Amino acid sequence: MKQLLDNIAWHTLSGPHASFSVGATDARRYAPGFSPIVGFANTQNPNFDALTPYCKPDEHFYCDGWSGAAPSGWRVDVETTMFKMFWDTSMPETDPAPEAQSLGLAHAPQALELAHLTRPGPFGLRTIELGEYFGIFEGERLVAMAGERMHADTLREISGVCTHPDFQGRGFAKRLMLKLVRRQIQRGELPFLHVMRENTNARRLYARMGFQTYLESVVRVVSQQ
């Protein structure tokens, strides 16, 4: 089942999140408004031609697992690697963030603003519709959040983890993540996450929390020329 992580974007976009995506039989993307992520049935020979009608020239997409030359009409804007990690220890015994509030559509603008400020990864106004999202508030102000994005079979991603710079160092992100881990395990799911190669501090934290590295894969940001 962990092998689905090899091409989790495709298994998500063509499976549980098909209704949130658009595309063809071998190339799909999250619909506009969601996270700008694309997936291909064959990452060794991705069918960009099939994807092109569903994309605009000013859009930039995250693409996982593809490392070949850019096809005609497309360019690689950024290239790095990321680690895919899965939960590999026992379930947290208690809810570590009972004060966290469930985020809904009314919170979407605040969630997007926080994501733009802290850059936890590809995020759109409708991303919080893809799973459970929880936030910690200071009065009416959203200061930390974490939620769920991709999933296939029993794999469920923890994503959108971020804290406003003025409120970092208080353990908000960690507690929100553990809250989600606990809820996912209670549902019979296996939590996983992505972390960029450059984010060494986060990767060490996730390892201490109980996440184990599954693989390191190429990740690119691509756009049409």
Query: What domains are there in the chain, each with its CATH number?
Result: 2-82 (no CATH), 85-216 (3.40.630.30)
Give how far Cα 58 sits from Cα of 55, 61, 109, 221, 222, Å.
9, 10, 22, 12, 11
Confidence at residue 2, expressed as pLDDT on a 0 to 100 scale: 84
Q: What is the pLDDT of residue 1?
A: 77
Query: What does the pLDDT read at residue 206?
Result: 97
32 - beta bridge partners? 34
C-alpha separations of 38 from 50, 54, 96, 118 in Å:
12, 11, 34, 22
Q: Which residues of the chain have pLDDT under 50?
A: none
Q: What backbone torsions phi and psi does residue 81 show, to the nearest 5 degrees? A: -130, 160
Q: What is the pLDDT of residue 205?
A: 95
